[in-house]
Structure 1
Amino acid sequence: MTNPQVIVIGAGPTGLMLAAELGLAGVRAVVVERLLQRSGQSKALGIQPRSAEVLELRGLLEPLMDQAVQLVPGGHFAGLRLDFTTWDTRHPYMIGIPQGRVEALLEERLAALGVPVLRGYEVTALAQDDDGVEATVHGPDGETRLRGRYLVGCDGGRSTVRELLGIDFSGLDGRLLSVVADITLDDPDGAVSATWSLPVMTPDRTGKGYLAPIGDGVHRFLFYGAEQQTLSRDTPISEAEVGRALHHTVGPGVELTGIHWASRFTDASRQVERYRHGRVLLAGDAAHIHSPMGGQGLNLGLQDAFNLGWKLAAEVHGWAHPGLLDTYHAERHPVAARVLANTRAQAVLLVHDEENLALRDIVSDLLGVPEANRIVAGMISGLDIRYDLPGPSHPLLGRHLPDLDLETPDGSDRVARLLRDGRALLLTSVAPAAFAEVVAPWGTRVHHVSVTAGLGADAVLVRPDGYVGWAAAVGVTGDMAALGAASRLWAGMTTSRPRNDHQPTS
């Protein structure tokens, strides 16, 4: 493609999800990826409950579940058990699935939408002006230039886009050095479990690790014993090192037969100060990195993309409310900051000294209290996210609307199915004609559905990403002017704005 409206750098889950949202909204997008093919590394392994809901909003969950290795009940906080069933969700579990399978599914969606993925192309220079961004890329046929109205860096923790723009990536250095590897093994006595369990993580530094089957005879192995803390991150990972950790974990009867991939990682945490720099935006690990504690990283990136995609599409199409695109940073930066904070806290609970052992015991006792466990489970799963949105106060405002069963004039339906096309959704249980008149100027951008009671409100305006942008209390028809203001903000201007929507880079 020589004429994209949006250039997405990076074909990991974040970049692919963003491109899928743009394609769904009718934006000409292109994904640029330096690797010629997917690495085949398992990388992240877990889809959290909120991400499962997000995927279901676009009809992607069912095919993903067909590829899943296992559903894992609950979650964990530094190895301490969390119960997701206390939250209103159809998916109170983690979906165990290698990242590569998630990427393959998203690439299939891009192919169906006609969004190209250019592999083997590496971005080497960026330039932006009031009208767009030009990326210089090197590929199999040499150097070429792509120009689009916007560019989004989804190219990981060592983001080239971030480096080319000279964006500071400050934060905390890591204290705990760990190893993750995809391995094959010989287990003649069946000592290794054939199913997943939640990781048992303790601060004893014995070298015991976490082992889980991921399909095709391959196991994911994570360990962080005392030996690893004496090495540098650049130290090559040998079969002897992995073998020793394997024996510590499952005993001498299991032998390592091969390493498909291995990497050292730390609990370092960093975040850019701003997610938008003129016409260039950052998402996923390009904007924030943290320890994998709790299994939140892939999910954080997917939800960045889901928040950004429809807003960026509105900008490209020219009907976005002024400032809409900047709500991406305003909403997602605090979410990532909280993930950085909770992963730092989890890392502290795994540091071996007497003070931290005492602290871990106290946290363990606290998580035994149902309400405390629910609070932390909501944080780790993403189910408790509430954006600070303008409008009349209501318990639903800023929260995602659960996937309710609904009765409509056309029969039974669900919230997830009604949001599948990426439009805003107005659900009303009273005075449908009056509400329909208010949102009529937005035409097809707001899908209006009359439902029976059960919303927890007389009317709810749901953004394309599933979060409630306006709600009227039960028994109150609602402030129609406020609904109009919310529609302008989340469904856009009724007439297109001028194309020059450039924001300063500082």
Structure 2
Amino acid sequence: MDHEVVIAGGGPVGLLLACELGLAGVSVLVAERGGPQDRELMDQRALNLPTIEALDRRGLLDGVRKAQANSLKMFGLGREEEPLAHFALIFVGARDIHAEDPELARHRPFADCGVVGLYELRTLLAARAAELGVEVRYGAAVTGVAADEHGVEVDLGGHRVRTQWLVGCDGSHSAVRKLAGFDFPGVEPEFTTRHAMVELDRPELMPLELFTDAGMLMHAPIPDGPHLLGLTEFGRVPADRNAPVTLEEVQASLDLISGSGARITRLHTASRYTDTTRQASTYRRGRVLLAGDAAHVHPPFGGQGLNLGFGDAVNLGWKLAATLRGWAQPGLLDTYTSERHPVGKWVQDWTMAQTALLRPDPRSRALRTILRDLLNTRDGATYVVRQVSGAWQDQVPDLGIAEHFRDGRGVLVSPRADARLAELAQRWRDRVNVVTAEAPENLLIRPDGVLAWRGDDLIAAETAFTTWFGTVVR
């Protein structure tokens, strides 16, 4: 075998997965079809609680916080001014919610979450991957996949490599997904959104928000800089969604939606997306797996996409490493699909509901008015923040023990020394760290932060150890 795992796609999800595997000493090749990415102002992503906590467990949070501070400064915002969440572009902030909501309070303060530049995030993860011995190969597009029961032959543009496992983290148009024959059911798009950074001749003509029969406009002036435009047209999907976005295309969309008369004098950068919503029916076919946008696509409302992909990566990484190292219980790898597919389905339903509320028809507008009233209540605002933040997901609350997850192992934490439990845990000492720390009770926590067992029942504890950390020779 040339590599134990080949990951197609060198974006944040692929790089985080590579880091997770690298912690276990797995030989990893990240094959990126493009080159190293440049910094783009518009490439900002929101991070939710599970993502922040996952990065904290791996010692990457300080770097992320620095990048977040730079993003806020760039847009002229302070932390207290940053919206916490939105539902169908109805925004809520820190002052709108119940500050002591139990589900939010049991995690790190939500103020730790925010936007981060994609370039900075990718740079941080690439540096960590390099430290762990991961090889990243640019200009390596996957053009062929031939899998058998022992491994996968991967054609990288004429150069063939053999690997035990192939993971497609290569985005919404995933070559791995197509070549490996994954089903990808879903719904076709209703709208097209263009995001653009532009110079305007008369910016004073532009409202910050506008909803018309043709679509909607979001306008964000950058202090001492250009203007960010979000232009959404319903019922108009371009024939070639991958064609470069031109100044003329953005101007035509601006004219159609706003009719303001403002002219774009310069187009710095632009992108286009639709609300296509699809999800692979399974995330694994034999020795080929999918993660991130390769496994699920949806409109990017609420910044769910990157967080969903990061959740895939931290769930899959340790399970695939355990499988490679031979100690995984039969079926452990299949829990990747059974655990992550429902989360992906929730995100798709959450974003499709927002599409329905943003339609320009009278019924949708009436429903949007009612929902805005609901979100103007503390209960309504708190509900949206709780959902968007990921506080509802099955993660152990912050216990101040993140440093004990740095090596990618599980953690057994006890509020007091327990000789019997410690003796039991010794059988898995190469896979689980034992910590005495303040906690409500004995907790066995998986490497991805998910609770595996709690309480004092040693028989149940042994079952949990065996289920998630395999059998051992006594």
* TM-score bucket (shorter structure): 0.7 to 0.9
Equivalent in the alignment of 1:56: 56
How far apart in 1 are the matches of 2:203 and 2:37? Answer: 34
Aligned AA (2:395): H
Contact 1:209 1:246 in 2 (8 A): no
Matched, 1:435 2:421: yes
- Confirm or deny: 8 A CA contact 2:6 2:165 kept in the other structure: yes
CA change 1:179–1:353 in 2 (3 A) is same
How do 1:19-418 residues align onto structure 2 when only pairs under 5 Å count? 19-38=18-37, 40-41=39-40, 42-68=42-68, 69-70=71-72, 71=79, 72-82=82-92, 85=99, 86=101, 87-88=104-105, 89-93=107-111, 94-138=113-157, 143-181=158-196, 183-185=197-199, 202=211, 205=214, 207-211=216-220, 213=222, 217=225, 220-225=228-233, 229=236, 232=239, 234=241, 237-243=245-251, 255-260=264-269, 262-385=270-393, 399-404=394-399, 414-418=400-404
Partner of 1:450: 436
C-alpha displacement of 1:240: 3.6
**What secondary structure, in the 3-state scheme, does the structure 2 residue paired with 1:150 have?**
strand
Relative to 1, partners in 2 of residues 1:28 and 1:192: Cα closer, same or farther, differing over 3 Å?
farther
Q: Deviations over 1:388-439 (max 9, x none)?
A: xxxxxxxxxxx211222xxxxxxxxx22222222111111114521210121
Give how far 1:212 is off: 6.2
Deviation for aligned residue 1:289:
0.2
Moved more, 228-237 or 354-363: 228-237
The partner residue of 1:467 within 436, 439, 450 is 450
In the superposition, relative to structure 1, how do residues 356 and 444 fare at CA in structure 2: closer, same or farther (>3 Å)? same
State the SS of the aligned residue for 1:305.
helix
Q: Any conservation in 2 of the 1:73–1:92 contact (CA below 8 Å)?
A: no
Q: 1:58 to 1:251 in 2, by over 3 A?
A: farther
Q: What do residues 11-51 of structure 1 show as CA deviations (whole Å, max 9, x unaligned)?
A: 11111110011011211111001112225554452222321
Q: Please, which moves more after superposition, 354-363 or 302-311?
A: 354-363
Whether the 8 Å contact between 1:45 and 1:97 is mirrored in structure 2 is yes
Q: Is the 8 A contact 2:217 2:229 kept in 1?
A: no
Q: Alpha-carbon deviation of 1:255?
A: 5.0
Query: How big is the shift at 1:101?
Result: 1.9
Shift of 1:375: 3.1
Query: How far did 1:258 drift?
Result: 2.6
Counterpart Cα distance in 2 of 1:31 and 1:230? 33
Shift of 1:233: 5.1
The answer to whether the 8 A contact 1:203-1:351 is kept is no
- What whole-Å deviation, never above 9, does each CA across 1:63-102 have from its counterpart, x for those lacking one? 1221220253411111123457531232414422232221
Moved more, 354-363 or 36-45: 36-45
Aligned partners of 1:191, 1:430: CA distance in 2, in Å? 65
Q: What's the counterpart of residue 8 of structure 2?
A: 9
Task: Find the counterpart in structure 2 of residue 491 from structure 1.
Answer: 469
In structure 1, C-alpha distance between the alignment counterparts of 2:466 and 2:377, rounded to whole Å = 43
1:123–1:481 Cα change, 3 Å: same
Q: Which amino acid in structure 1 is aligned with residue 236 of structure 2?
A: Q
What are the Cα deviations for residues 277-310 of structure 1, in whole angstroms up to 9, with x where unaligned?
0011000111100001111111111111011101
Unmatched segments (≥5 aa) in structure 1: 194-198, 386-398, 405-413, 473-477, 497-506
Counterpart Cα distance in 2 of 1:91 and 1:205 = 40
C-alpha distance in 2 between matches for 1:169 and 1:212: 38
Contact 2:170 2:176 in 1 (8 A): yes
Structure 1: how far apart are the matches of 2:459 and 2:27? 34
Q: Distance in 2 between matches of 1:97 and 1:201?
A: 26
Identity %: 38
Retained in 1: the 8 A contact 2:190–2:237? no
Q: Give the Å deviation of 1:254.
A: 8.0
Whether contact under 8 Å (2:86, 2:384) holds in the other structure is no
Assess, with a 3 A threshold, how the Cα gap between structure 1 residues 73 and 49 changes in structure 2: closer, same or farther: farther
SS of residue in 2 equivalent to 1:45: strand
Q: Matched residues in 2 for 1:190 and 1:19: separation?
A: 47
The alignment's TM-score, normalised by the length of structure 1, stands at 0.82
Corresponding residue SS for 1:136: strand
SS at match of 1:296: helix
2:39–2:119 CA contact under 8 A, matched in 1: yes
Normalised to the residue count of structure 2, the TM-score between the two structures is: 0.87
Rounded Cα–Cα distance in structure 1 between residues aligned with 2:221 and 2:200 = 14
Q: 1:9: Cα distance to partner? A: 0.6
Greater CA drift, 48-57 or 169-178? 48-57
Deviations 1:201-258 (A, max 9, x none): 8566464224364x995654321147x8375454763324434666877976785423
Distance 2:17 2:211 in 1: 37
Secondary structure of the 1:163 match is helix
SS of the aligned residue for 2:329 comes to: coil
Structure 2, unmatched stretches of 5+, are: 73-78
Flag the 1:217–1:359 CA change in 2: closer, same or farther, 3 A: same
Q: Which moved more, 1:106-115 or 1:74-83?
A: 74-83
CA RMSD for the aligned pairs? Answer: 2.9
The structure in which a higher percent of residues are helix is 2
**Aligned residue for 2:76?**
none
Q: How many residues align?
A: 452
CA contact 1:192–1:250 (8 Å) conserved in 2? no
Aligned CA distance change for structure 1 residues 189 and 352 (closer, same or farther; 3 Å): closer
